[in-house]
Amino acid sequence: MSRIAVVTDTTQYLPTDVIERHGIHRVSLYVNWDGRTDREIDLPDYDGYYDFLRSAGELPTTSQPSLGDFLAVYEPLVEAGDEVVSIHLSGGISGTVRTAEQARELLIERGMPAEQMVVIDSRTGCAGHGFMSVAAANAVERGADFAGAVAAAHKVREDLQILVMVDTLEYLRRGGRIGAAAAWIGATLKVKPILTIEGEMQPVERVRTAGRAFERLVAHLEQRREDGCDAFAIQHIQAPAEAQRLAERGREIYGRDPELISEIGPVIGTHTGPGILGVAGLRTELLGPM
C-alpha cells in the first residue's frame, strides 16, 4: 500500500519539532541579502537578517524555489510510490505554487499518474498553510486515504481566519506586495494596519495606536472562541515580548497555552518588516495535535 507524503514550503514557519514530528517535507525559498543568497531553511536564526533589514537602504530580495528544488523533494517520494499532497504559500503573493504545479506536470510527462500528486494553493501564508499541512498529516496518521488527507487540509483552510497587526505598511509598499491594502497608502502609513491573507494581503481595519491594534487581536481571539474555536496560535517578527503578552491574554480566553509561538522568517519578513504580530483561533477537531 502506498504511503501519503505531505510537502510544504518554508514560509509556514512552524517550529522545526512540529515539522519533524509530522514527517512533513519542505522546499525552501531564498533570500538575497548582504551580497549573498541563502536558503531560508539553512538560516540558524533570523536575528542577523532582521538587523540588516532595519538598516538596509535597499530592500533585500526574495526568490521562490526552482523547478529543480521541487523535483529534488518530489522525485524520491514519487519513485517510492508515495502519493503526495503539496501545500503552498498563496499564489497571489508568490509564484512558489505555480513552480510546484510545473514540477508536477513534468513528472506526469515522465510517467507519474496524475492522481498520485495534488498541489494546493492555500490562498494564505505563514502558519495558515502550515496548519493545512499538519491537518493533512494528522489525517494520514488517523488512517485517512489520499482524498481524506486533501479534504482535511481544505477543511482547515475553510475555517481559517488569521489577523495580522503590521507595524507599518512601508515594507509592503516598497516590496510591491501590498495587494488590496494599497488603498491605505499615503497618510495612513502612520497607522497600525490590521491585515489578513485571502489570496493576497487584504485590509481589515486601520487602528491609530499599537495598543488598540493589540486589543483588536485579542478581540479576534475572543470572537473565534465564541465561534467554537478551542485553541489558538501566534506568530511574530522580532516581537517576542508582545507575542508573550498576547499569549497571556489568549490563555485567559482559551484556558490553555497557545499551540505555537513562532517567528516569521526572512522571505515574508522582507515584505512586511519587523514588528508584526499575528494570531489565529483554531478548531482542534479539524487540525488535530500539533
Please provide residue 243's backbone torsions phi and psi, each rounded to the nearest 5 degrees.
-65, -40
Q: Where do the domains of the chain lie, and which CATH numbers do they carry?
A: 4-28+64-158 (3.40.50.10170), 162-287 (3.30.1180.10)
Position 18 confidence tier, pLDDT thresholds 50, 70, 90: very high
In this structure, of 98-102, 190-194, 285-289, the range with the lowest mean pLDDT score is 190-194
Best CA proximity match to 117, nearest among 3, 288, 14 = 3
User: What sign for the dihedral angle of Cα 281, 251, 164, 171?
Assistant: negative
Alpha-carbon gap, residue 91 to 175, rounded angstroms: 16
Per the CB < 8 A criterion, the answer to whether 200 and 90 are in contact is yes
Q: Is the pLDDT of residue 7 over 80?
A: yes
Q: Is the pLDDT of residue 168 over 80?
A: no
Alpha-carbon gap, residue 163 to 203, rounded angstroms: 10
Q: Is the pLDDT of residue 78 over 90?
A: yes
Alpha-carbon gap, residue 236 to 272, rounded angstroms: 11
Alpha-carbon gap, residue 73 to 129, rounded angstroms: 18
- Average model confidence (pLDDT) across the chain: 92
Best CA proximity match to 90, nearest among 129, 117, 134, 39 = 129
- The helix (run of H) or strand (run of E) holding residue 3 is none
Q: Which three cell numbers stand for residue 205?
A: 481595519
Alpha-carbon gap, residue 290 to 287, rounded angstroms: 8
Task: Say which DSSP state 245 is in.
Answer: H
pLDDT in tens, 83-117: 999 999 999 989 999 999 999 999 999 999 999 99
Q: Is the pLDDT of residue 77 over 90?
A: yes
Position 187 confidence tier, pLDDT thresholds 50, 70, 90: very low
Predicted confidence at residue 175, as pLDDT, reads: 59
Q: Cα-atom radius of gyration of the chain, to the nearest Å?
A: 19
In this structure, of 99-108, 185-194, 256-265, the range with the lowest mean pLDDT score is 185-194
* pTM of the entire predicted model: 0.93
Alpha-carbon gap, residue 6 to 17, rounded angstroms: 15
Alpha-carbon gap, residue 12 to 131, rounded angstroms: 8
The mean per-residue pLDDT over the stretch 63-83 comes to: 97
Q: Is the pLDDT of residue 184 over 80?
A: no
Q: Is the pLDDT of residue 57 over 90?
A: no
Predicted confidence at residue 166, as pLDDT, reads: 87
